[in-house]
C-alpha cells in the first residue's frame, strides 16, 4: 500500500477521539491522512476485528483497544487472543493495546493534568487502576462546568467532557512527557510513526 497515505482509526468511544487524534498527529499524520471512528465499546471491536482485517487488505486500519483486566491484565496475551479472531498477522492492521485505558495515557502527563486542573503536580497521583474515576474526580474538584456527572456513587462523563478534554490535550498535555511514563503509549507512538513512514507519509 505504499504511495497512498490514509488510515481508518477505530476507537472504543467518542471520549477516546481527542487523545488518539493528538497521538496520530504526533506520529506525523496530517489530519487529511486519517479518520477516527468510535464504536460502541470494546465488545464491538472484538466482534468486528475479522472485518477490520479484511478491510485492511485495501486500506490500513489502526485499532485502539483498552486492556482493562482482559487477557489476565497482560497486553501481549490480550493482543494474541485478538489476533486469533483474524486470519493472522497483517502489516496493515495495527492493533494497539492501551495499558490500561485511555485515561491512563492522559494521566501519564501529570504536569499537564495538574496545570489544566489548576492544582500542584505533587497532588496528581494516578492510582494503579481505576484511572477513569480518578481523572473525573480531578475534573470535578476543578469545577469544570458539565465535565462530570454524578451517577449514584459513581462519576461519569458529563455533556461537556469532550470539550474540556480537547482543551486539555491541545493546551496542556505533552505526549513527550506522557510517553516517558507510559510504555504502551511510547510503543504506540513508534508503531504509528513507522506505519506512516512506510506508507510514504511526509515525502510529498
Please check whether residues 138 and 68 belong to one and the same domain. no
Read off the CATH number of the domain in which 50 is found. Answer: 3.40.50
Please check whether residues 115 and 99 belong to one and the same domain. no
Q: Which three cell numbers stand for residue 156?
A: 461519569
Is residue 1 one of the residues assigned to a domain?
A: no
Supply the range of the domain harboring residue 143: 108-173
pTM above 0.75, yes or no: yes
| Number of domains the chain is built from | 2
Is residue 92 one of the residues assigned to a domain?
A: yes
C-beta separation of 49 from 63 below 8 A: yes
Which among 129, 60, 140, 49 has a CA at the least distance from the CA of 87?
49
For 29-65, how does the pLDDT look when each residue is reduced to its tens digit (9 = 90+)? 999 999 999 999 999 999 999 999 999 999 999 999 9
Which among 175, 149, 9 has a CA at the least distance from the CA of 92?
9
Please check whether residues 139 and 165 belong to one and the same domain. yes
Is residue 32 one of the residues assigned to a domain?
A: yes
Please check whether residues 84 and 34 belong to one and the same domain. yes
Please check whether residues 25 and 93 belong to one and the same domain. yes
For 82-138, how does the pLDDT look when each residue is reduced to its tens digit (9 = 90+)? 988 888 888 899 999 999 999 999 999 999 999 999 999 999 999 999 999 999 999
Amino acid at each position: 500500500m505504499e504511495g497512498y497515505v490514509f488510515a481508518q482509526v477505530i476507537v472504543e468511544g467518542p471520549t477516546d477521539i481527542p487523545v488518539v487524534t493528538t497521538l496520530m498527529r504526533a506520529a506525523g499524520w496530517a489530519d487529511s491522512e486519517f479518520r477516527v471512528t468510535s464504536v460502541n465499546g470494546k465488545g464491538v471491536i472484538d466482534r468486528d476485528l475479522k472485518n477490520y482485517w479484511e478491510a485492511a487488505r485495501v486500506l490500513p486500519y489502526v485499532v485502539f483497544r483498552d486492556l482493562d483486566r482482559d487477557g489476565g491484565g497482560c497486553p501481549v496475551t490480550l493482543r494474541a487472543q485478538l489476533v486469533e479472531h483474524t486470519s493472522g498477522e497483517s502489516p496493515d492492521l495495527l492493533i494497539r493495546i492501551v495499558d490500561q485505558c485511555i485515561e491512563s495515557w492522559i494521566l501519564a502527563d501529570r504536569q499537564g493534568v495538574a496545570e489544566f486542573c489548576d492544582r500542584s503536580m505533587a497532588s496528581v497521583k494516578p492510582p494503579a487502576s481505576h484511572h477513569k474515576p480518578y481523572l473525573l474526580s480531578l475534573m470535578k474538584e476543578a469545577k469544570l462546568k458539565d465535565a462530570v456527572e454524578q451517577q449514584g456513587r459513581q462519576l461519569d462523563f458529563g455533556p461537556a467532557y469532550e470539550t474540556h478534554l480537547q482543551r486539555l490535550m491541545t493546551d496542556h498535555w505533552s505526549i513527550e512527557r506522557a510517553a516517558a511514563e507510559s510504555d504502551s503509549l511510547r510503543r504506540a507512538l513508534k508503531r504509528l510513526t513507522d506505519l506512516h513512514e512506510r506508507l510514504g507519509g511526509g515525502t510529498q
